[in-house]
């Protein structure tokens, strides 16, 4: 079964647990998740992450259990055959988190604002119209994603003809000295 990375991180992990446990009745509202930790693979458990899942009080389940799985490095969602997939024209965004919905749409994922290191979008008056590469880095508490990617941000460029509409100019007529 293909993973739907547009779901919430909790729902992705619950789907993974259910998939590998005979589709037992389990929803993300029935459990809480601890902070995922890097897991050093051991013989028989070749995974990169361990997380403790705990039943919520008042549910039909009780207790906690550790689950081992692989978080996915963010660069794996970048299709190298799609030119400029990581290039974004800034349309008023001032923070990376404000650009995240467009990034999620392009990469077909659902990376939450609390799962990235937010930062300011560069000031284009200082860096120019070519734009700048900035790092989108995932926090360690992401249940699903790891690592970082570089994205290129650039300003909206206004066509010269849209600003200077009069193309026939009066002036610069040579008048010989008398």
Mean pLDDT of 128-157: 90
Residue 12 pLDDT level (bands cut at 50, 70, 90) = very high
Q: What is the domain count for the chain?
A: 2
Q: Domain check: are 98 and 144 in the same one?
A: yes
Quick check: is 145 in a domain? Answer: yes
State which H helix or E strand residue 89 sits in. Answer: strand 87-90
pLDDT digits (tens, 9 = 90+) for 55-70: 999 888 999 999 999 9
Inside any domain, residue 3: no
Kindly report the CA angle at 104 between 101 and 108, in degrees rounded to 5? 145
Residue at which a domain ends, from 38, 70, 102: 70
Is the pLDDT assigned to residue 122 strictly greater than 90? Answer: no
Residue 23 has a pLDDT of: 74
Mean pLDDT computed over every residue of the chain: 89
Higher-pLDDT residue of 130 and 167 is: 130
Domain, as residue range, for 96: 74-156
Q: What is the pLDDT of residue 63?
A: 94
């Amino acid at each position: 079964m293909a993973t739907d990375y547009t779901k919430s991180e909790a729902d992705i992990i619950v789907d993974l647990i259910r998939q590998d446990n005979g589709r037992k009745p389990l929803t993300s509202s029935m459990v809480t998740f601890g902070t995922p930790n890097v897991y050093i693979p051991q013989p028989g458990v070749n995974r990169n992450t361990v997380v403790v899942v705990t039943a919520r009080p008042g549910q039909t389940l009780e207790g906690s259990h550790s689950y081992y799985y692989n978080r996915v490095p963010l660069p794996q969602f970048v299709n190298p055959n799609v030119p400029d997939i990581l290039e974004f024209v800034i349309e008023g965004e001032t923070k990376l988190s404000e650009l995240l919905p467009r990034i999620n749409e392009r990469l077909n994922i659902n990376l939450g604002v609390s799962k990235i290191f937010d930062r300011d979008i560069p000031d284009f008056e200082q860096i120019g119209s070519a734009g700048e590469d900035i790092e989108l880095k995932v926090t360690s508490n992401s249940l699903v994603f790891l690592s970082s990617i570089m994205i290129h941000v650039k300003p909206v460029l206004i066509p010269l003809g849209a600003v200077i509409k009069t193309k026939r100019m009066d002036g610069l007529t040579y008048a010989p000295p008398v």
